[in-house]
Amino acid sequence: MDNRAEIQDFLSSRRGRVQPQDVGLPGPERRRRVPGLKREEVALLAGVSVDYYARLERGQLRGVSDQVLEAIADALRLDEAERTHLRDLAAAAGASPRRQRQRPTPTAKVRASVVTLLESMTVPAYVRDARFDILAANQACVALYDGVLRAEALPLNLARFIFLDARSHALYRDWDEVAEATVASLRAQAGRDPMDKPLTDLIGELMARSHPFATAWAKHDVGRHSTALKRLRNAEVGDLELTGDALELSADGLTVIVYTAAAGSADEEKLRLLCSWNGSAPRDDAVVHHGSHVAEHPPAR
């Protein structure tokens, strides 16, 4: 991403959604030409000069103190994910020219012990990297996703699947919500690592090929979801309402997504039947994965 353009668009979009009365300022006496706060109002709330805030909104965040960033975040009423994104953008603005060059980040490997973890689970689970590439999934998850996660299909990029594969509309009953959350998570990751070339290539591809993606991307929303309710449709057991929890493997740069149903619910019974019909008990072939993305030994510490 163009760091300065991203900063400008992010700050102006957040400013545009806050009304003066939301932050204790007098409401406008007449209709404004643009929605939300003016730059001078953000500067007043953050305790900085108008010229200084205007410079920041033009993308010049290099060297800005944490205190000023927090004051701006408070003025714009940013949530935690948005505050983190603003700090990431500021960090990228201050990065050295060498770090700013785009680089082909290597794909993370799934350690053998993580594969064993997936094998031991009797509920659906998969492993993905920061770019939403699904690298491995247990048999219960293969069954839940109606064969989308076959071994020969991995690694499968979840964002491409959602926006470019018609099967995603059949799988996700709340497709619009899932799509927007995926875009928000991708933007947050792009802010954390703007020089990840495969990630920026993925975003560029989806911008060109998917109007819904381009529309959602233009909103500049960011998010980080550790848990979410997922409403899925499965050919074998019908509609399911599950909780998806994200378990971070921070040392590996990977995330394990685990699906569970509420105890004692009809969804739990459906999930149990789905898993039993598709043999989710631990065995040698209980996990599908792309072989080149599985590490035989743990990385050196």
For residue range 84-137, list pLDDT tens digits in order: 999 999 998 876 555 545 555 556 789 999 999 999 998 999 999 999 999 999
- 3-class secondary structure, 264: coil
CA separation for the pair 253, 261 (Å, rounded): 27
Task: Please report which confidence band the pLDDT of residue 64 belongs to, taking 50, 70 and 90 as the band edges.
Answer: very high
pLDDT of residue 257: 96
Decide if pLDDT at 27 tops 80. no
Tokens of 105: 């980040």
pLDDT of residue 283: 47
Residues 240-258 have a mean pLDDT of: 93
pLDDT of residue 278: 77
What letters, b where the CB count within 10 A reaches 16 and e where it falls short, cover 272-282? Answer: eebbeeeebee
Task: Please report which confidence band the pLDDT of residue 258 belongs to, taking 50, 70 and 90 as the band edges.
Answer: very high
Enumerate domains of the chain plus CATH numbers: 3-100 (1.10.260.40), 110-295 (3.30.450.180)
pLDDT of residue 50: 95
Residues 249-262 have a mean pLDDT of: 93
CA separation for the pair 206, 215 (Å, rounded): 11
pLDDT in tens, 65-87: 999 999 999 999 999 999 999 99
- 3-class secondary structure, 103: strand
Decide if pLDDT at 185 tops 60. yes
Task: Please report which confidence band the pLDDT of residue 14 belongs to, taking 50, 70 and 90 as the band edges.
Answer: very high
Q: What share of the chain is helix, strand, coil (3-state, %, to 5)?
A: 50, 15, 35
pTM greater than 0.75 (yes/no): yes
For the chain, what is the mean pLDDT? Answer: 87
pLDDT of residue 240: 96
Decide if pLDDT at 284 tops 50. no
**Percent of all residues in the chain with a pLDDT value above 90, rounded to a whole number:** 69
CA separation for the pair 250, 255 (Å, rounded): 8
Decide if pLDDT at 281 tops 60. no
